[in-house]
Amino acid sequence: MNITKENIDALNAVVKVEISAADYQDKVEKILKDYRQKANIPGFRKGQVPMGMVKKQYGKSIMIDEVNKLLQESLNNFLVEEKLDILGNPLPKMQDDFNWDADDYAFEFELGLAPEFDVDLTVKNKITQYNIVADDELLSKEVENLQKRFGKLVAKEVVEEGVTIAGSFANEEKGIDKKSTIALEDIKGKANQKKFIGKKVGDVVELESKGLFEDDHKLMGALGLGHDEVHGLEIPITLTIEEINVTELAEVNQELFDKIFGPDSDVKSIEELKEKIKEDAEKQFQQQADQQLLNAVTEYLVENTKFDLPAEFLKKWLAVAGEKPMTPEQATEEFDKSEKGLRYQLIEGKVIKDNNLQIDFKELQDFTKGFVKAQMAQYGQLNPEEKDLEDIVQRVLSNQDEAKRLQEQLMSQKLLSFYKENITFKVKEVNYENFVKEVYK
């Protein structure tokens, strides 16, 4: 057997695999002998079937099977031994004059080679790293939300600003008859809100579904419909009022602190309450800021790391790689959609390799343990037994999809830490509202 590689250019190559009869004949003969021993053919005792008959019946299919096995194994070994970094998979070149009746065979495969490039972390136009702070306005709103959460409902005789209304939404044509509770402030527009003001229990309010709420999700909940059903929905609906309530805010005192954090909490004043809210909020903000920073670095590196791809090869490969073949036009469209992601995969791989950002199994176990502990804490299990924790970690990592997901999360953390250490950012302090405006437009 002989394997050679011819470079077409820096991104494309052809591998030629030459297989002679001597490479596969012994294996084929051995399999045929086994077939002869086991074959049940009428007129012959088991093991006494003439070899010529066995060869005639099974010889060619066995030979083809063994040549293909040898071809695949030798090609894979060649790619590993030559340390070829390829994109996609080798594509066999079609041969019009190929003949399985010959003894010797030659196969050719097209390869798309990964480009060589360097990643420059010297950022010219500095990337913004956001430091999101919980400002006084947010803290005051959160205190008020807690007061509402632990406050008490007080029945009102008529609808006025600030109330919640419980009742039944109805539309006979669509079969809608849904009990719901809504906040008057969620109703969109003063004209709609005015229809409610002054109404009492038992009154019926006539409404239009279109533009009733600021958010379609609230309309879905109120009417008990799915997303597709409320999209563009324009029907008359009625609301029969059954309850009118207002939330009387809980007083900000030790009783409230104990309800929120438990009787053993260190929170003893509104200042300490706000400090606790600030701490918790800014932890969550940090996660969002980190994700935004990683996204920004990704965008920057993709835009500023220049290299060519074996585009024509990849389009040909995409056309045959999936379950359903694609037309050349479909493959080109798919390549255009996936090119940016492929470029970042190559850049990320280069950064990981050049800076030895590998993950060992112990790191993955520890990361998974932290993830599991955080999940358990949400359900009140703050101090799980170590053995129970290790058993759960083992079960989680035995699931390949889950293990892969956690490994990707851990690698994202490693990359983020690496970028923070090696790229100079422009730090900007903002409140959460301005962060959302700037980042998500």
- Spatial contact of 10 and 113, defined as CB atoms under 8 Å apart: yes
Computed on alpha carbons and rounded to an integer, the radius of gyration of the chain in Å comes to 34
Q: Give CA–CA dist 176/173, Å, rounded.
A: 8
> In the block, which residue shows the tokens 């004949």?
25
Residue 428 dihedral angles phi and psi, to the nearest 5°? -130, 125
The alpha-helical segments, DSSP class H, found in 99-238 are 136-149, 190-194, 216-223, 227-230
- Determine the Cα–Cα distance for residues 205 and 238; give it in Å rounded to an integer: 6
Element (H, E) at 7: strand 2-9
Q: Which of 375, 145, 129, 408 is nearest to 281 (CA)?
A: 145
Give the pLDDT of residue 347: 96
Look at residue 34 in the predicted model and tell me its pLDDT.
84
Helices (H) and strands (E) in the chain, counts: 15, 11
User: pTM for this one?
Assistant: 0.75
Q: What is the band of 217 on the pLDDT scale with cuts at 50, 70, 90?
A: confident
State residue 364's pLDDT score. Answer: 95
Which residues, 6 or more positions from 226, have their beta carbon under 8 angstroms from its beta carbon?
A: 220
CB-based burial label for 414 (10 Å; 0-12, 13-18, 19+):
middle
Q: Are 214 and 186 in contact (CB under 8 A)?
A: yes
Average pLDDT over residues 284-288: 94
Rounded CA-CA distance 325/201 in Å is 63
Strand partners, 324: none
The answer to which of 41-55, 150-164, 389-403, 412-426 has the lowest mean pLDDT is 41-55
Where b means 16+ CB within 10 Å and e means fewer, 269-288 reads eeeebbebbbeebeeebeee
Residue 46 has pLDDT above 90, yes or no: no
Per DSSP (E only), the strands in 20-145 are 86-92, 105-113, 128-133
Average pLDDT over every residue of 54-73: 89
Residue 112 burial (CB count, 10 A): 23
Closest CA to 423 of 293, 307, 308: 293
Distance CA(167)–CA(156), nearest Å, equals 14
What tens digit of pLDDT does each residue of 234-285 get? 999 999 999 999 999 999 999 999 999 888 888 999 999 999 999 999 999 9
Which pair of structure tokens corresponds to residue 111?
A: 């390869």
Q: Three-class SS of residue 423?
A: coil
Whether pLDDT at 382 is above 80: no
For residue 383, count CB atoms less than 10 angstroms from its CB and return exposed for 0-12, middle for 13-18, buried for 19 or more. exposed
Q: Which pLDDT score, from 0 to 100, does residue 200 have?
A: 95
Three-state SS at 349: helix
Closest CA to 254 of 245, 246, 241, 263: 263
- For 142, 168, 285, the CA distances from 280, given in Å and listed in that order, are 11, 38, 9
Residue in the block written with tokens 């044509």: 173
Q: In this predicted model, what pLDDT tens digit does every residue of 82-135 receive, in sequence order?
A: 999 999 999 999 888 888 888 899 999 999 999 999 999 998 889 999 999 999
State residue 7's pLDDT score. Answer: 94
Sign of CA dihedral 7, 8, 13, 16: negative
